[in-house]
Homo-oligomer: A and B are copies of this chain.
């Protein structure tokens, strides 16, 4: 069964909320409460989870630990994912220093740059390699995810190389609508583009609604 991408996008939020509940030593949670925590209707939660089988009993709520376990397994969060970062400029360094990845099982294990001045540099325990070596380095040490933090002009070509190396999940920080072949997944993370599409609405309304 093909599960709608919007459902998959919501599952990580469910695991966050369930982790929080687990750390509060909660054993059971209703779809009502989970919904309130997440800003999603209880009906939506029940429908989303129904794609993956039967969780919880009518009127009894969900077993926090079991549901969390199951969702982590479904999402592949019960294992470690290896990532390669391309681009170690200001943004790339912030990404390398970001502490949110490791606790969630995502680890940057290789770093590359196109600038010869940066190649050889030691950053967070990694030696920066030349982007020219992407293919050989990734065939010797494959990764699951590529993080692209290079300037817009070269982002598509870096993405093409990553795809050629067998990388099938890409986190793109460059401000382009990058293209990837079917079977490769790409998410764009770019704060300025997000801001720029909101200012349209600010400009076109008067005062708080």
One digit per residue, 1 when the CB lies within 8 angstroms of any chain B CB and 0 when it does not, for chain A 170-209 equals 0100011111011111010101111111111111010111
Interface residues on A, range: 35 or more
Interface status of A91 (Cβ within 8 A of chain B): yes
For A97, A104, A163, A197, the residue with the greatest tally of chain B CB atoms inside 10 Å of its CB is A197
Are B10 and A199 in touch, CB under 8 angstroms? no
Are A191 and B189 in touch, CB under 8 angstroms? yes
Bound Cα distance A22, B95 (Å):
30
Bound Cα distance A100, B81 (Å):
29
Interface status of A39 (Cβ within 8 A of chain B): yes
Given that A145-B195, A189-B194 are contacting pairs, would A200 and B98 also be in contact in the complex, using a CB cutoff of 8 Å? Answer: no
Are B205 and A11 in touch, CB under 8 angstroms? no
* Cross-chain contact of A168 among B11, B195, B208 (Cβ < 8 A): B208
How many copies of this chain does one complex carry?
Answer: 2
**Chain B nearest Cβ from A44, distance in angstroms:** 10
**Chain B nearest Cβ from A26, distance in angstroms:** 14
Residues of B within 8 A of A101 (CB): 191-192, 195
Residues of B within 8 A of A208 (CB): 163, 166, 168, 183-184
Are B171 and A195 in touch, CB under 8 angstroms? yes
Bound Cα distance A94, B11 (Å):
27
Bound Cα distance A90, B20 (Å):
21
Are B39 and A202 in touch, CB under 8 angstroms? no
Interface residues in chain A, defined as those with a beta carbon under 8 Å from any beta carbon in chain B: 5, 8-13, 15-16, 20, 38-40, 74-77, 81, 90-91, 94-95, 97-101, 104, 106, 144-145, 152-153, 156, 163, 166, 168-169, 171, 175-179, 181-185, 187, 189, 191-203, 205, 207-209
**21 A-B contacts, Cβ less than 8 Å apart?**
A8-B201, A10-B177, A12-B193, A12-B197, A13-B176, A16-B152, A16-B175, A39-B177, A39-B178, A75-B200, A76-B199, A98-B191, A104-B196, A144-B199, A168-B202, A168-B208, A169-B195, A171-B194, A184-B208, A187-B194, A189-B194
